[in-house]
A and B are shown apart, each in its own frame.
Chain A
């Protein structure tokens, strides 16, 4: 499969990827290296992992990062209750025997990272919002990402049965370490241009009126140029389009009051909602409706 074919496959499953992103994804899957995606919220970083899993017909294993995420919840944990029961059940056997029994794979709880490398078919492993996890966690990740293996002191090293396709996403809330960056292929996902965004909208909502679709995309594109705290992403645009077509709007200029009310799909802070009053909406609509 060449990278163009991958791009077409993605398009067929409703994900329109830019050339840069398609090449990055292609290289990551061919060279079995993790892929680090950065970009604004709502540009489709997480979505691409889902679509990749769909294309390769494999599992998607997702690890949502948060502050305080540790090895226990992300790599593995011993099943203490089960171990304790076992110890109490075989009280009379020698301690070495018990030890070798309770520290075996049977008593191991696999968390996402270990799960991902022990699957029969290589899954897609999505490590979402890695910038939210602590720096300590990045260090754990390095071993998994560079050698695809996990070291468990009691059991030894578990190597990957299949190498997962790893996708890391980051919103840039903190700088990632160079060590992590160096192990990954990198791509920055930016807001799509008008044509691409239109293609995305038509792929996702195929029944939408073509003229409305174009108006929606151009409206959102010009809204992104306004001074907003949080610019609407592609996901917001799709929500809005779904809302408008659900309301039976045929043209943006039809019902200004209703249109203004639907902007809640796009503007997610109070300040932004104040920043785009009816007057601004009407000006933007006038630009896109000719």
Chain B
């Protein structure tokens, strides 16, 4: 939980603004001294007594992408109104700080009205053993859950195999990604002469080719989108699969990952966190609070509606890691996959059960999905993951 309390001891606007910028940085924004300076320069342009205006101003200056733009209001309120809210979607790292914060009174800044008091304290993390329950809107709020429901992935697999899974995934991702187009395209430092353009250009020099233009085959990297099932039936595999997914996407800024149980969450940015432990803790939090049914169809539909447009195209491999046990009717899954496949992507389904002896894909969901898959493979052991490489290379 990353909270920054309102600095009651601090005097003056500039220090408070600097504190606010630090608070944003602490919450994953890319803000720095430059933003503090911009904000302070811009403040005289508006009515500083009106907190609504100040919020709009800071929002314009400090946000730089849609995610930031969406969470900003909450972070603004948490700092200036001292609501003690935590970072959206983080693991519980600093509960002690959190508890301490809760004893703080709202700030004394004149721009801050008293409305903060009433809605300020909602039940939040209270003890270190507390676990997260997941709310549908993607925000994590820690709450008390009985200890016995705690799922510890670490007991199920050894650290070495987790590491190995990540390494394997990295190699796989490399195998899938490395693609070159057959065509040539103009390029400043190409390895071949672009004759057509050079000759065309030479006309303006009276037929003397003074400018030599070059061309090369452009990289057409394949994008990897992973959708990971962490429902009850998959918990045994969840930890190792998470590492696998992390390996798949961590060296590629275009790759993306999603996790679902009863709801769908985007985890690409969390997984790219260079602090592996923190990332894993966050994900463990995200993966908890389920245990009910798996809604593969509905979640894929959600994926189609919300994310597919931006992250799936003809050069994308969508990897679904799931056992195919769906509580929704199979038609929904089939429809969702059909729509997804219309985006001309490759769909790979890795099913841990397929590695079992005598497994037949008779789970209704799995049977409905089969016609739309480009590759269907087992994924219950590290060896089976390693065996994927030749197949994925061919896609």
Query: By DSSP majority rule, is chain B's interface helix, strand, loop, or mixed?
Result: helix
Give Cα A33–Cα B60 distance, bound, in whole angstroms. 11
Query: Quick one: closest B residue to A24, CB to CB?
Result: B60
Query: Quick one: closest A residue to B343, CB to CB?
Result: A229
Q: With A31-B38, A181-B64, A227-B305 as known contacts, state yes or no: A186 contacts B69, CB within 8 Å.
A: yes
* B204 and A81 contacting across the interface, CB-CB below 8 Å: yes
* A-contact bits for B68-111, CB 8 A (1 contact / 0 none): 11100000000000000000000000000000000000000000
Q: With A181-B65, A186-B65, A186-B69 as known contacts, state yes or no: A31 contacts B305, CB within 8 Å.
A: no
Q: How large, as a class, is the contact surface on chain B?
A: 20 to 34
Asked if B359 is at the interface (CB within 8 A of a chain A CB), the reply is: no
Quick one: which of A22-59 are within 8 Å of B by CB? 23-24, 26-28, 30-31, 33, 36, 38
* B204 and A23 contacting across the interface, CB-CB below 8 Å: no
Q: With A186-B64, A227-B305 as known contacts, state yes or no: A84 contacts B204, CB within 8 Å.
A: yes
Asked if B191 is at the interface (CB within 8 A of a chain A CB), the reply is: no
* B60 and A23 contacting across the interface, CB-CB below 8 Å: yes
Give Cα A136–Cα B189 distance, bound, in whole angstroms. 12
A30, A68, A186 pick with most chain B CB within 10 angstroms: A186
Give Cα A33–Cα B64 distance, bound, in whole angstroms. 14
Pick from A20, A81, A84, A182: contact of B34, CB below 8 A: A182
* A-contact bits for B177-197, CB 8 A (1 contact / 0 none): 000000001101000000000
Asked if B274 is at the interface (CB within 8 A of a chain A CB), the reply is: no
Q: Which residues of A contact B254 (CB under 8 A)?
A: 175
How many A-B Cβ pairs are below 8 Å? 73
* A172 and B310 contacting across the interface, CB-CB below 8 Å: yes
Question: How many residues of A are in contact with the other chain, CB < 8 A?
Answer: 33
Give Cα A84–Cα B342 distance, bound, in whole angstroms. 53
Asked if B66 is at the interface (CB within 8 A of a chain A CB), the reply is: yes
Query: Quick one: closest A residue to B61, CB to CB?
Result: A185
CB distance from A169 to the nearest CB of B (A): 14
* A-contact bits for B206-238, CB 8 A (1 contact / 0 none): 100000000000000000000000000000000
* A3 and B46 contacting across the interface, CB-CB below 8 Å: yes
Q: Which residues of B contact A172 (CB under 8 A)?
A: 66, 310
Asked if B135 is at the interface (CB within 8 A of a chain A CB), the reply is: no
Pick from A20, A80, A184: contact of B204, CB below 8 A: A80
CB distance from A189 to the nearest CB of B (A): 10
Interface segment out of the listed B51-59, B281-289, B345-353: B51-59
* A19 and B56 contacting across the interface, CB-CB below 8 Å: yes
Q: Which residues of B contact A175 (CB under 8 A)?
A: 253-254
7 further contact pairs, Cβ within 8 A, besides A68-B186, A84-B206, A187-B60:
A20-B56, A80-B204, A84-B204, A172-B310, A173-B310, A182-B64, A186-B65
19 pairs, CB–CB < 8 Å, chain A vs chain B: A2-B45, A2-B46, A19-B52, A23-B59, A23-B60, A27-B42, A27-B61, A31-B38, A31-B41, A68-B186, A81-B204, A84-B204, A84-B206, A136-B188, A172-B66, A172-B310, A173-B310, A182-B30, A188-B66
